[in-house]
Amino acid sequence: MLYSYRYRFLFVHLAKTGGTSVRTALDGYRWRDPYFYPQFLCRKLSGLTKRRIGVRIPRHAKAITAQEMLPKDIFESLFKFAFVRNPWDLQVSSWYHISRERPHLLEGIDDFDAFLYWKLEDPKRPYHYIVDASTEPQWHSLMDFNGNQIVDFLGRYENLGEDYYEACRRIGLPKIPELPHKRQAKNRTDYRTYYTDYAYGLIDKHFRPDIDNLGYTFD
């Protein structure tokens, strides 16, 4: 999550949706924010106390976290945006990410079907943040306790460049930073080639909120 009081925006960072690139591009605007240094100090204090004072918002926190933590008038004044991604494509990205960054977690898992079972269905699977933050439907990060969307603008990974510039335009940034390309897998093919009927069904089951609310289909 990236928050700027001065520029009145809140970026809800969903995993594997191009969010690292967006954060990198917009990070410089934090330094111009009057509350950056108090926030920075609080994050450091939170780390030194092993999170006992509870002031740090996690990178992949849900929008409801900011709604609960910020004063109502401040939260409502912010331009809140996020990027979402086709859940079938997203899980292929997760497979490559974990294979690259945490290969020790995948010992004994030798294909995509086994990976999805381990990640989504295995009762012995580790807590999802140990795996990555894409185990839960994206929609759950965008809604309030009543299931209503509380994010003003949803960009799509499939249209990342154009939607990023649209978000910056709506924020009203004096200069739109170039969007870098971060963490792209170099050796993967079209996500549809990874799916068996079994794997398709797991995504259809576990990510039904994304399919219903974000309009994604397998094709």
pLDDT tens across the length of the chain (219 residues): 898 989 999 999 999 999 999 999 998 887 777 777 677 777 777 777 776 665 667 778 999 999 998 999 999 999 999 999 999 999 999 999 999 988 988 888 999 999 999 999 988 776 655 678 899 999 999 999 999 999 999 999 999 999 999 999 999 998 999 999 766 666 789 999 999 999 999 999 999 999 999 999 998
Are the CB atoms for 106 and 99 separated by under 8 Å? yes
Q: Tell me, what amino acid is at 124? A: K
Q: Which residues contact 177 (CB under 8 A, 6 or more apart)?
A: 25, 26, 28, 168
DSSP-assigned states of every residue in 124-190: TPPPHHHH-S-SS-GGGGTB-TTS-B--SEEEEGGGHHHHHHHHHHHHT-SSPPP----S--SS---
The span from the CA of 191 to the CA of 121, in Å, is 21
Tell me the whole-structure pTM to 2 decimals. 0.88
Q: Tell me, what amino acid is at 171? A: I
pLDDT at 156: 98
Domains and CATH numbers, the chain: 2-214 (3.40.50)
pLDDT at 73: 95
